[in-house]
Structure 1
């Protein structure tokens, strides 16, 4: 009786201890949350030449040097231009100030106290075309709360032939992006997801608005409705370098009098496969025959047009006395998505860059229709949807899930960030904002397989750790109970006059004195490495009339 009471009391104490530990671990697991997305402002950034360029506002180095980055795909590496911006593609050779605006900033490596030596092994090999670069590592400041220390940056040594199509400093957001990988490894984003809204940059101040590049999720405030159109990223052999292909089934002119007319040829059976290239400088490229010709015939425009060599590179320019289209245009997709482009984003002032000062010059007399008509040897190229398209549509890409999503955009100034996991599902329990963080970027970039799997690890790490802890504690508790039972059995043997209660071999093997049982190997629990970039709050510029 006495022995049984001892055993019951022991079991009760052990169970209470385990329950308390399990409860503590459960609380910790439930407290685990997913990081909130990071929003980088897209807008006018004041550069070192005291002029502005539009892009993602990120600072480099210390003291911080302002840049307007344009994200690029399919590149995984990020690069800037130095104080020699190699602007040889311009018809009028620009000065250093002029080139600084064209490139979205000029990196002065020797002016930065945080610049470190970098080596080729820190950079991924990119397919052509890509500029020849030297190597540097420096701070990228995304916003006031987050900085990536010693982030590897290429510094372009040539123009690389991108002309005005991709002229600016680049953040690589490809399938194995160093930028996204570092943020995910550090636990700053829940998945290698990015979202893009270009904002609006029409001719008047009322038609201008900042956009945003969101990392780790999307901005729900920028969606005109909850209807989401999901597509699969193509493989690396796709003719679309960004792997984002959509099918356009119609393009409709919405005249101010309420009349809607398609520019597609007679039958709606015609469809165009198009590639989304978010940094491309116009709304879209479009075969001149029949689509562009139909556009001008229906709107009363001229047959021949000059091209822009400014910000809206190679867009079609209206002549001074030509009738300009004053309606909207709706692009319809096979998925069911319809995107209406307002007139103030379709017909905009031609904006060029003063080659001497770097100042932006707006020409309202010869405005641009932000469509690049492709013809001759390019007539059969796949059409591209560029950044002006993403003034009216909202794009999210999840590299972990291999999917991209499109919505009709809502040009709102508010912000409602939503985190997304590796399976492309919304996360309902984001973490509270943390204190300012400087993340070390000096670790190597993982392979795509590692980067993909680390996303799930980031999200579920706390739960896995808790389960592992329970297994270890259960093993230890089992051993303690076993040892307690042996002591009680020995005590009961003495109490029972030396009677031996074991049958056959001993049911429990008592460890030798001083020897502890091995705990399960926990080497798979690798600490996350931290890192990351910047943000600037410059007011939108207002173009002169």
Structure 2
């Protein structure tokens, strides 16, 4: 293509960009995935959600196959025994919701029923739900249920194709798309960092602009060999163990391919057939537990247990390659960990007698149950756009220490950066004021306008030239880039170190407001670090019932 054609195309693109800039007005909501203080004073990792009046604070997860929002409860549903207390139950399920204890709960079903197509038995009520300190949904229908499975016990927000949460937020003009971005983050080892859940867009600072793949979502019946209600199916084409000296052991032969379903709430990095676990044991020297306990019964349910001294045999990294294009690498701390346990008072403590390899051995369950789970997104980023019917998986930029939220505006078919903490893409207002004149004269106003016009013209010229140069670079680079969400790069210096996703001084938990809450003001501002050794008091630890 000649330079003349490139410039002509760039000018045409500039005209289109001007239209988009004038009409593009996306809205998005950013929520942290972090430790939340519950009613039992335990800190449990999840998305902060306040439900009812007085507000009950929960730590929830997402569920990509469900459309409704399901909360564990009421308290009477807890399977309490001498080894599984109410406090343990609260921590296990990320909090308990009781509709009878809420002044704003309005029952919509006299009996427990199942909503199609989710099929989860629940009692239904319209309730007040707060996603963050500025986003409240009143009369939002939720299901109160005690029928969760032991793999994923936490309450969950359904983000499936017909998500009632996404629909309600769009209807109330709080979002402009049925999309979301998800990064699980890490809550263990030496690399602890918050995760991110963005409704209506994604975080461009986390999503690698080059190392990503975009694929169409598929209905379950379109691929009956892989029963994936989440609709996100792709192929694993490589599983590698890399030793500190650079040597690589391959767990998959070159001719092998494993089709997996993306299940972002599943408690593992990957669920794979037994042959790959056997090869992992052979290459690493890991030793299965001598007492015959093959897998965890705790927070990372069904991940593989090994002898506590065994992890020292392999100190390298674990890499998963997708579609022969995208490689995601996990540090040793992300691959092997000491799993925390829940005491009878609900507090999480380390259980140093256990060591977990964060993969799931499917045993005889077959290849069709293979998954990429929540812990995969400690090193990868997921973006789902239901309006376009596609999903993107990217290598996560885990060095990012601030957010760059890109909101998706489906009606105007555009994407734009949002200001931090804002639901709109409008720029922040200047804090500069005229302190010399309280009542400017007509002459002052005229002079000010003329200068503003001159500045606008000058700025417009600079922007025009910049956009022309950018468009030329875009057309050149697009020929070299793979398909996917291209996130703009920047050569500006890195921002100051802040708590991820939030400016200094802004708590990442939900702010206190005028609604009564079960916790006193700023209860959540303190941080309770997990003790390095077990408590001196007599406490028991528990596995899930």
TM-score normalised by L of structure 1? 0.70
Which of 25, 33, 41 is the aligned partner of 2:32? 41
Note closer, same or farther for the CA distance 1:308–1:426 as it changes in structure 2 (3 Å cut): farther
Q: What residue in structure 2 maps to residue 340 of structure 1? A: 329
Instruction: State the Cα deviation string for residues 336-389 of structure 1 (Å, max 9, x = none).
Output: 1110111111111112222x211112123321100111112x133331111110
Note closer, same or farther for the CA distance 1:93–1:159 as it changes in structure 2 (3 Å cut): farther
Please state whether the residue corresponding to 2:278 is helix, strand or coil.
helix
2:306–2:355 Cα contact (<8 Å) kept: yes
Which of 248, 258, 262 is the aligned partner of 2:246? 258
Q: How many residue pairs end up in the alignment?
A: 410
2: CA distance, partners of 1:424 / 1:63: 39
Please state whether the residue corresponding to 1:194 is helix, strand or coil.
strand
1: CA distance, partners of 2:53 / 2:188: 34
Q: What residue in structure 2 maps to residue 21 of structure 1? A: none
Note closer, same or farther for the CA distance 1:139–1:274 as it changes in structure 2 (3 Å cut): same
1: CA distance, partners of 2:412 / 2:228: 22
Q: Does 2:234 align with 1:234?
A: no
2: CA distance, partners of 1:108 / 1:406: 37
Q: Which moved more, 1:119-128 or 1:34-43?
A: 119-128
The runs of at least 4 consecutive aligned structure 1 residues that moved more than 6 Å come to 27-30, 120-124, 431-436
Q: What residue in structure 1 maps to residue 264 of structure 2? A: 278
2: CA distance, partners of 1:432 / 1:146: 15
1:396–1:405 Cα contact (<8 Å) kept: yes
2:203–2:403 Cα contact (<8 Å) kept: yes
Which of 407, 410, 415 is the aligned partner of 2:397? 410
Instruction: State the Cα deviation string for residues 462-508 of structure 1 (Å, max 9, x = none).
Output: xxxxxxxxxxxxxxxxxxxxxxxxxxxxxxxxxxxxxxxxxxxxxxx
Which of 362, 368, 381 is the aligned partner of 1:381? 368
Deviation for aligned residue 1:323: 4.3
Note closer, same or farther for the CA distance 1:41–1:538 as it changes in structure 2 (3 Å cut): farther
Which of 292, 295, 315 is the aligned partner of 2:277? 292
Note closer, same or farther for the CA distance 1:307–1:539 as it changes in structure 2 (3 Å cut): farther
Q: What residue in structure 2 maps to residue 107 of structure 1? A: 97
Deviation for aligned residue 1:225: 3.9
Q: Does 2:286 align with 1:315?
A: no
Which of 167, 171, 181 is the aligned partner of 2:167? 181
Which of 205, 208, 212 is the aligned partner of 2:192? 208
Please state whether the residue corresponding to 2:88 is helix, strand or coil.
helix
Rg larger for? 1
Deviation for aligned residue 1:119: 3.9
Note closer, same or farther for the CA distance 1:338–1:56 as it changes in structure 2 (3 Å cut): same
Q: What residue in structure 1 maps to residue 87 of structure 2? A: 97
1:398–1:424 Cα contact (<8 Å) kept: no
2: CA distance, partners of 1:207 / 1:29: 40
Please state whether the residue corresponding to 1:365 is helix, strand or coil.
coil
1: CA distance, partners of 2:195 / 2:42: 19
Please state whether the residue corresponding to 2:90 is helix, strand or coil.
helix
1:288–1:373 Cα contact (<8 Å) kept: yes
1: CA distance, partners of 2:345 / 2:35: 17
Q: Does 2:56 align with 1:65?
A: yes
TM-score normalised by L of structure 2? 0.70
Please state whether the residue corresponding to 2:45 is helix, strand or coil.
strand
Note closer, same or farther for the CA distance 1:121–1:152 as it changes in structure 2 (3 Å cut): farther
Please state whether the residue corresponding to 1:388 is helix, strand or coil.
helix
1:85–1:100 Cα contact (<8 Å) kept: no
Note closer, same or farther for the CA distance 1:110–1:236 as it changes in structure 2 (3 Å cut): same
Q: What residue in structure 1 maps to residue 286 of structure 2? A: 301
2: CA distance, partners of 1:298 / 1:365: 23
1: CA distance, partners of 2:112 / 2:403: 35
1:317–1:366 Cα contact (<8 Å) kept: yes
1:198–1:387 Cα contact (<8 Å) kept: yes
Is there any run of 5+ residues in structure 1 with no aligned partner, and where?
A: 1-26, 437-533
Q: What residue in structure 1 maps to residue 152 of structure 2? A: 166
1: CA distance, partners of 2:76 / 2:375: 25
Please state whether the residue corresponding to 2:367 is helix, strand or coil.
coil
2:52–2:104 Cα contact (<8 Å) kept: yes
Note closer, same or farther for the CA distance 1:29–1:193 as it changes in structure 2 (3 Å cut): closer
Q: What residue in structure 1 maps to residue 536 of structure 2? A: none
1: CA distance, partners of 2:367 / 2:258: 11
Please state whether the residue corresponding to 2:351 is helix, strand or coil.
strand
Q: What residue in structure 1 maps to residue 482 of structure 2? A: none
2: CA distance, partners of 1:539 / 1:126: 42
1:251–1:331 Cα contact (<8 Å) kept: yes
2: CA distance, partners of 1:193 / 1:299: 40
1: CA distance, partners of 2:204 / 2:104: 36
Note closer, same or farther for the CA distance 1:94–1:258 as it changes in structure 2 (3 Å cut): same
Note closer, same or farther for the CA distance 1:429–1:306 as it changes in structure 2 (3 Å cut): closer
Q: Which moved more, 1:91-100 or 1:411-420?
A: 91-100
Q: Does 2:75 align with 1:84?
A: yes
Q: What residue in structure 1 maps to residue 137 of structure 2? A: 148
Note closer, same or farther for the CA distance 1:433–1:223 as it changes in structure 2 (3 Å cut): closer
Instruction: State the Cα deviation string for residues 202-259 of structure 1 (Å, max 9, x = none).
Output: 23xx411110110110001112444431101011324111110110111111111121
Q: Does 2:102 align with 1:117?
A: no
Note closer, same or farther for the CA distance 1:118–1:375 as it changes in structure 2 (3 Å cut): same
Note closer, same or farther for the CA distance 1:29–1:221 as it changes in structure 2 (3 Å cut): closer
Deviation for aligned residue 1:92: 6.9
Of structures 1 and 2, the one scoring higher in RCO (CA 8 A, sep 6+) is 1
Note closer, same or farther for the CA distance 1:226–1:85 as it changes in structure 2 (3 Å cut): farther
Instruction: State the Cα deviation string for residues 511-531 of structure 1 (Å, max 9, x = none).
Output: xxxxxxxxxxxxxxxxxxxxx
1:218–1:417 Cα contact (<8 Å) kept: yes
